Structure 1
Amino acid sequence: MNGSTAVHGALECIDEERTAVTDRGAAFETFARRVRAVPAERPVSTVSGHATAATPVAMATERSTRETTAATAADRCVTVREAFAETVRPHSIADHETDESLVETLAAELTEDVAVALATETGWTPALKRAVLESVATRRREVESLQELLRSERHTVEDAIDSIEEITAWLRSTADESLLQCDFDALRRKHERLEGYRSRLETLAAERQAQLTESTNRYGRGGTQRRTVVTSIYADLSVRHPVLSSATRLNEICGGCQRTVRAHLTRRV
């Protein structure tokens, strides 16, 4: 059954997504570690706690210090951007069909304010460092949330496969039986069994529909429907909702078999 194939293919999609999400989480963890290793300094004007005499030598020294500090701060912004490009960016743009600049990726992952600050190299200050790490922490929480959703999704698909395989196995085992050779009681039992299978499949589909309307915070506060995330996971399959497709198709098959059995029952009355 094509639907059965689709629902089995769903497991492969989930496992591929879990690997990608795990790698993304590891990339953010590595990036955070490298960011923490880059020291941040306050602007020179706020470092000294006492006034400096306005002599030519002192002014020249202060100007030189400012220039050196600014250059160092700019270099550290570059260091952070390079760390991001080497760790997070490959995972962020993996599914993109068009080129995206580093600044655009920074904005997408770490907010526009952080991206602008790093791109303009205005200074690697404690505040900017803190903002970068806070953005990373948010992304890592989203990764954990998605990992939890994928674990739940795999459990759902596995349960669906168990039911589908049980029903299809019974259908195949009885495919070669002649209904003409079945007595009334045997036909009635077949009819009741098919009715039970159809009820299970309808319940499976209804529960799946309800599950798809649940919210997930993958995309930040407020989240989005689970349906959106699931559709993305199964984008490479021939059907976007393999569980629903399989349950619906198998229910139709059971319905057809049940109508055939019912027709034989009515002839025996």
Structure 2
Amino acid sequence: MTTHVGRARRRVARERDAVEDKRAAYDRFRSRLESIPAPDTAGTGGTLVSTGSTSTTRPVREAFAETVAPVCEERLVGELLAAELGEGIATALTTDGASPPLRRAIRSESDRRRAELDAMNRALDAEADSLDRADETVEAIREWLIAANETALSSCGFEALSERHARLEGFRADCEALVRDRQAHLRRTTGADGQAGVRHHDLRGYLYEGFPVDHPVLVTATRLDGLSEECQRAVRAHLVRRV
């Protein structure tokens, strides 16, 4: 049986792959930009748009379409340009020419997006670490509960019942510690080189949209704590009978 934590780990693994692919795509796009010859911009001044041939913007659009667009959601290239690099750049790339300021703006926005993706990567790494720690706790408790359920309490002696009660008390303490650790994690922000930051609470909302629960770790820990408490009550009832 897979827990909410297990499903969350798979979701994070897929998202990490997607972000890494997009970061690599921006690296390729940035390299392509540097290989595109600068247009003849005599008389264009400092404006984003020049009045040269469309050949000055077509290579940039093609580079974006062949590198970044394939790793984004399926939309028109113009829409993706606006979403990824901004409306101003997208509009300028549909005009008759590209100026040096436009090329600088594209490089700047590409670097900004790479910084954002670096921050997302680090935040996802931190989320994966948090889920790994949670999974260790959750699986240890879950496996013990399943195994213990195969032995009837009526067949256990006083010593065995006492040990079982103590083990369950330890599990409850583990669940409480897991909740505290997870809550502390969600309050943190992860950045990359001081250029961008991702709040873990916001990332959680994005990652687990569509999940049956909003907080997979907290819900799982709370449910396991409740199960451990129920088992403790049953064990105590048998202990009282043996006194």
Asked if these proteins are the same fold (TM beyond 0.5), I'd say: yes
Q: Hey, what does 1:84 align to over in structure 2?
A: 64
For 1:112 and 1:27, the matched residues in 2 are separated by 20
- Aligned residue among 51, 62, 66 for 1:70: 51
Please state how far the C-alpha of 1:185 moved relative to its aligned partner: 3.4
The 3-state SS of whatever aligns with 1:45 is coil
Q: Which runs of 5 or more residues in structure 1 are unaligned?
A: 48-68, 95-99
2:34 is the alignment partner of 1:36? yes
> Does the aligned pair in 2 maintain the 1:21–1:143 contact within 8 Å?
yes
Letter in 1 for 2:63: A
Letter in 2 for 1:34: R
For 1:84 and 1:231, the matched residues in 2 are separated by 29
Q: Hey, what does 1:21 align to over in structure 2?
A: 19
List aligned pairs for 1:1-269, cutoff 5 A: 4-41=2-39, 43-45=41-43, 70-72=51-53, 74-94=54-74, 100-121=75-96, 123-216=97-190, 223=197, 225-235=199-209, 237-269=211-243
The 3-state SS of whatever aligns with 2:161 is helix
The 3-state SS of whatever aligns with 2:43 is helix
The 3-state SS of whatever aligns with 1:35 is helix
Q: 1:211 to 1:197 in 2, by over 3 A?
A: same
> Does the aligned pair in 1 maintain the 2:130–2:185 contact within 8 Å?
no
Q: Could you list the per-position Cα deviations for residues 29-80 of structure 1 after superposition, in whole angstroms to 9, with x for gaps in the alignment?
A: 1111111112224632379xxxxxxxxxxxxxxxxxxxxx8333x3211221
For 1:253 and 1:239, the matched residues in 2 are separated by 18
Please state how far the C-alpha of 1:177 moved relative to its aligned partner: 2.3
Please state how far the C-alpha of 1:198 moved relative to its aligned partner: 0.7
Please state how far the C-alpha of 1:154 moved relative to its aligned partner: 1.9
Q: Which runs of 5 or more residues in structure 2 are unaligned?
A: none
Letter in 2 for 1:131: A
Letter in 1 for 2:51: A
Higher Rg of the two aligned structures: 1
Cα RMSD of the aligned pairs, angstroms, is: 2.7
The 3-state SS of whatever aligns with 1:210 is helix
Q: 1:222 to 1:17 in 2, by over 3 A?
A: closer
For 2:213 and 2:59, the matched residues in 1 are separated by 44
Letter in 1 for 2:138: I
Letter in 2 for 1:209: Q
For 1:104 and 1:169, the matched residues in 2 are separated by 49
- TM-score, length basis structure 2: 0.85
For 2:216 and 2:189, the matched residues in 1 are separated by 20
Please state how far the C-alpha of 1:127 moved relative to its aligned partner: 1.6
Q: Using the aligned pairs only, state the percent identity.
A: 39
> Does the aligned pair in 1 maintain the 2:190–2:197 contact within 8 Å?
yes
